[in-house]
């Protein structure tokens, strides 16, 4: 059956893989086992490669598999000596640097490691640390381009209960609770785990906070079995091979960089090449991307739609990128026109996939060797059940949906989390025994491909950055002139969506949209969540029971975005009209009607509309109507 490795083309191939039990597929029971086995099999092979300035000319910093295991052992032994035990968490505020890798895998070998987004405000970080009962933190010392240490100092002021902060970089001297990471770690043995711990596959290994960066953090609990499975399935289906190179630009507080780009690479004996501490945020990362691919013979990478859009503006300039077999896209819907243009210009296939933190990482992906319908998120991973279910108002599953019928996408398998750390968030998470409700809406076609058609979760996704509209709405509702406020995502050709807010004022109020925008700017500290526009309306659309009906607002903002763009390509004998609405399983569809004079080429009009609107994730359809004589 292993002749299918990297060659899966259909659901039938997935079923062939499943003819062998999952237990026979790999020997590892923990993430530590993966690193230990990789060191045994690929000791001198480069496991991690780090670029400082994202140039093809610089000398990288390399870490072999043998050295990675040694550093992981040292880090785990240090954490254990400072009191970390199984069931307890060490958190980290680190960019994409070697010490982040030592912390992640050393933390999982000693106890639980908790990833924290260092872009959050200090009070949000404190909320996450307290939710995980954290007593031990690893944080970056002052470093150009990062304000992590400034935030850490504020965290220390708000959290006297923190026992120790390991500082990465800095003066290398102990100062009360602040312990130098590297200097302290080097004093510990690296040949074994001094704790003698035997790690169980069902033990919690990691916490990842989720739910959007502006809402209350839900802490998803990963188990070793789930992370090991994700590493195996990803490298198996994508044909990672010893010595192949994965470019990593996503941050190491995100499940994709930790599991798909790092642990899966370790499982295969590949090299994870990190595009600087800042990843894709480094100004050279996009500018020099193709040159870096050429020098290091990169074979694959993962990025969000905004990165693919940016790369379209960087010419290849003769760079040999033939080593790059594919790019994977997740985290946000991928505009179809971006896929078409990217593949046409570069010759590199884009594999759209789908996953979530609560599913450890990926659950569905387009097959590397099979059909890749544009807009589909692909077929299920092996040993992973995925179904579309009708969920009732109590959160329980009523039945499985028919082919093509929209419903809630639910997953079941070795990668499904046992639940959130905070029990109050588990209500409705499992609509049926073993099945997790992803909160996303979609349908399955007759070939077993899944398609997203909307979100049950009320999130705005800006360049892969989850934004809770509730925080925007709560802010605006504190303004004395605001009666009702609702935030939705406006289509954007770069970020996918950007937040805007609709506001109904109190009777007699004189506040302007500019006034409310300035008010929000003072109150909302998360820059990505700041609404790009405030739209004043006479009456907010509501349901029969008085709840704000956001679909109407989503339709309206799409029209407001599309109509001016279409006006720009109107000419004598051509006019456009746009209507937007939901269409069964297909979610939101923008219907563009072009009224043309006799003799105007319909195909030219359709191509112009496709070029103009295809860069957005919103589905559109063009109808040509001949003008009345």
pLDDT tens, position by position, 428-457: 899 999 999 998 889 999 999 999 886 666
Coil, strand, or helix at residue 473? Answer: helix
- At residue 537 the predicted structure's pLDDT band, cuts being 50, 70 and 90, is very high
Q: Assess whether pLDDT exceeds 70 at residue 255.
A: yes
Q: What pTM does this model have?
A: 0.83
Lowest mean pLDDT among 264-268, 333-337, 426-430: 333-337
Q: Mean of the per-residue pLDDT values for the chain?
A: 91
Q: Assess whether pLDDT exceeds 80 at residue 286.
A: yes
Q: How many CB atoms lie within 10 A of CB 453?
A: 21
- At residue 3 the predicted structure's pLDDT band, cuts being 50, 70 and 90, is confident
pLDDT tens, position by position, 107-149: 999 999 999 999 888 988 999 999 999 999 999 999 999 999 9
Q: For residue 18, what are its two tokens?
A: 């499943």
CA 241 to chain centroid: 24
Coil, strand, or helix at residue 501? Answer: strand
| C-alpha distances in Å from residue 94, one per residue of 55, 70, 146, 265, 365 | 22, 20, 10, 20, 29
Contact 268, 241 (CB under 8 A): yes
Domains of the chain, first to last: 2-444 (3.40.50.12780), 460-548 (3.30.300.30), 552-626 (3.30.360.10)
Contact 9, 373 (CB under 8 A): no
Please report how the helices 602-613 and 550-567 are oriented relative to each other, as an axis angle in degrees rounded to 10. Answer: 120
pLDDT tens, position by position, 561-580: 999 999 888 887 788 899 99
Burial of residue 452 (number of CB atoms within 10 Å: 0-12, 13-18, 19+): buried
pLDDT of residue 586: 62
Q: Which residues pair with 136 in a beta bridge?
A: 90, 164
C-alpha gyration radius of the chain: 25
* Cα 526 from Cα 40, distance rounded (Å): 45
| C-alpha distances in Å from residue 190, one per residue of 61, 70, 106, 562 | 20, 4, 11, 59
pLDDT of residue 597: 83
Q: For residue 519, what are its two tokens?
A: 């008010």
Longest dimension (CA), the chain: 88
* Cα 128 from Cα 108, distance rounded (Å): 18
pLDDT of residue 213: 46
**Using DSSP, how many helices (H) and how many strands (E) does the chain show?**
18, 29
Nearest to 587 by CA among 560, 558, 627, 547: 558
pLDDT tens, position by position, 390-408: 998 888 999 999 999 989 9
Say what percent of the chain tops pLDDT 90: 67
Say what percent of the chain tops pLDDT 70: 96
Q: For residue 10, what are its two tokens?
A: 């259909």
Burial of residue 423 (number of CB atoms within 10 Å: 0-12, 13-18, 19+): exposed
Q: Name the phi and psi angles at 226, rounded to 5.
A: -65, -45
Range of 43-52, 387-396, 540-549 with top mean pLDDT: 43-52
User: Which distant-in-sequence residues (6+ apart) come within 8 Å of 105 by Cβ?
Assistant: 31, 32, 35, 68, 72, 75, 76, 113
User: Which distant-in-sequence residues (6+ apart) come within 8 Å of 421 by Cβ?
Assistant: 131, 132, 207, 219, 220, 221
Q: Between residues 617 and 26, which one has the greater pLDDT?
A: 26
pLDDT of residue 545: 54
- At residue 334 the predicted structure's pLDDT band, cuts being 50, 70 and 90, is confident
* Cα 256 from Cα 262, distance rounded (Å): 8
Q: Between residues 328 and 225, which one has the greater pLDDT?
A: 225
Mean pLDDT computed over 243-268: 95
Q: Which residues pair with 151 in a beta bridge?
A: none
């Amino acid at each position: 059956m292993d002749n299918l490795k990297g060659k899966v083309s259909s659901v039938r191939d997935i079923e062939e893989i499943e003819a062998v039990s999952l237990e026979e597929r790999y020997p590892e029971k923990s993430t530590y086992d993966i690193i230990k086995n990789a060191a045994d099999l690929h000791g001198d092979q480069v496991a991690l490669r780090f670029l400082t300035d994202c140039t093809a000319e610089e000398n990288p910093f390399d870490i072999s598999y043998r050295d990675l295991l040694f550093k992981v052992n040292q880090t785990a032994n240090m954490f254990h000596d400072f009191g970390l035990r199984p069931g307890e968490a060490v958190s980290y505020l680190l960019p994409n640097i070697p010490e982040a890798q030592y912390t992640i895998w050393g933390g999982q070998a000693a106890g639980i490691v908790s990833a924290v987004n260092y872009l959050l405000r200090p009070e949000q970080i404190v909320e996450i640390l307290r939710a995980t009962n954290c007593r031990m933190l690893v944080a970056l010392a002052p470093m150009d381009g990062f304000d992590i240490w400034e935030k850490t100092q504020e965290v220390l002021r708000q959290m006297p209960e923190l026992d120790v902060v390991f500082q990465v970089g800095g003066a290398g001297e102990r100062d009360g609770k602040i312990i130098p990471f590297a200097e302290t770690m080097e004093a510990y043995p690296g040949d074994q785990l001094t704790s003698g711990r035997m790690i169980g596959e069902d033990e919690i290994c990691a916490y990842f906070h989720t739910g959007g960066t502006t809402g209350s953090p839900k802490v998803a609990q990963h188990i070793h079995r789930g992370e090991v499975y994700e590493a195996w399935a990803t490298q198996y289906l994508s044909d990672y091979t010893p010595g192949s190179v994965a470019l990593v630009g996503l941050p190491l507080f995100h499940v994709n960089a930790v599991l798909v780009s790092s642990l899966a690479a370790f499982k295969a004996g590949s090299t994870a090449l990190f595009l600087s501490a800042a990843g894709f945020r480094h100004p050279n990362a996009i500018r020099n991307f193709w040159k870096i691919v050429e020098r290091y013979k990169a074979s694959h990478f993962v990025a969000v739609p905004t990165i693919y859009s940016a790369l379209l503006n960087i010419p290849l300039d003769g760079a040999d990128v033939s080593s790059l077999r594919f790019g994977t896209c997740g985290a946000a819907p991928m505009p179809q026109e971006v896929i078409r243009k990217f593949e046409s210009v570069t010759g590199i296939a884009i594999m759209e996939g789908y996953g979530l933190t609560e599913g450890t990482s990926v659950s569905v992906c387009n097959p590397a060797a099979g059909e890749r319908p544009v807009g589909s998120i692909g077929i299920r991973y092996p040993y992973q059940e995925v179904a579309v279910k009708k969920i009732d108002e109590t959160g329980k599953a009523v039945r499985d949906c028919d082919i093509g019928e929209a419903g809630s996408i639910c997953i079941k398998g070795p990668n499904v989390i046992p639940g959130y750390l905070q029990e109050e968030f588990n209500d409705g998470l499992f609509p049926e025994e073993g099945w997790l409700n992803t909160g996303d809406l979609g349908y399955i076609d007759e070939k077993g491909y899944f398609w997203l058609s909307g979100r049950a979760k009320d999130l705005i996704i800006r360049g892969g950055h989850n934004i809770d509209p509730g925080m925007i709405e709560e802010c605006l509702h504190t303004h004395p002139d605001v009666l009702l406020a609702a935030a939705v995502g406006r289509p954007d050709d770069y970020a996918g969506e950007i937040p805007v807010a609709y506001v109904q004022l109190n009777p007699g109020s004189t506040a302007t949209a500019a006034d409310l925008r300035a008010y929000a700017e003072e109150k909302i500290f998360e820059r990505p969540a700041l609404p790009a526009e405030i739209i004043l309306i006479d009456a907010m659309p509501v349901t029969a029971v008085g709840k704000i009906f956001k679909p109407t607002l989503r339709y309206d903002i799409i029209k407001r975005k599309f109509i001016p763009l279409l006006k720009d390509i109107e000419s004598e004998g051509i006019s456009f009209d746009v209507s937007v609405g939901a269409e069964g399983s297909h979610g939101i569809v923008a219907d563009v009607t072009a009224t043309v004079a006799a003799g105007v080429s319909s195909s030219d009009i359709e191509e112009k509309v496709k070029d103009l609107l295809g860069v957005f994730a919103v589905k559109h359809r063009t109808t040509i109507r001949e003008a009345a004589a």
